[in-house]
Amino acid sequence: MAENYAPGFQKKPDHEVTLTPFTGNVQVVLGDAVIAESARAIEVTESNHGDCFYIPRADVAMDQSVKTETSSYCPFKGHASYYSFGTATDAAWSYEAPYDECAGLKDYLAFYPNRVSDIRVG
């Protein structure tokens, strides 16, 4: 198996990206519809960024999503793809082939709080 190490950690070894299984429920609402709900989310804490919740694709209404042309790059996690839901353009992102240090993010999506109606955590 080829190694896929994040180059960001080589340049900034003190940078931390922590993936922790979340013990509560995370729900993403767009308008009046729940487009994601999971008791299997991962809470990601990253140096200088705060927390973010990633939800398994199996718990997201992927049939209501459209993969867009938008992409971005993180030297710690890898290349991200973006998804729109209804009128919420690029509302979610996903690392489809994350670096080894963040391999637990594969097949998960995270949502921008300002592009959906609500993200409920409890």
* For the chain, domain boundaries: 16-121
Once rounded to an integer, what is the mean pLDDT over residues 54-83?
98
Does the pLDDT of residue 2 top 70, yes or no? no
Once rounded to an integer, what is the mean pLDDT over residues 44-53?
90
Instruction: Choose the CATH number for 16-121 among 3.40.190.10, 1.10.3720.10, 2.170.150.40, 3.60.15.10.
Output: 2.170.150.40
CA distance 101 to 113: 25
Q: Which pTM value belongs to this model?
A: 0.94
Once rounded to an integer, what is the mean pLDDT over residues 68-82?
97
Strand ranges for 1-122 from DSSP E:
17-21, 26-30, 33-38, 42-46, 50-56, 65-74, 78-85, 88-94, 108-111, 118-121
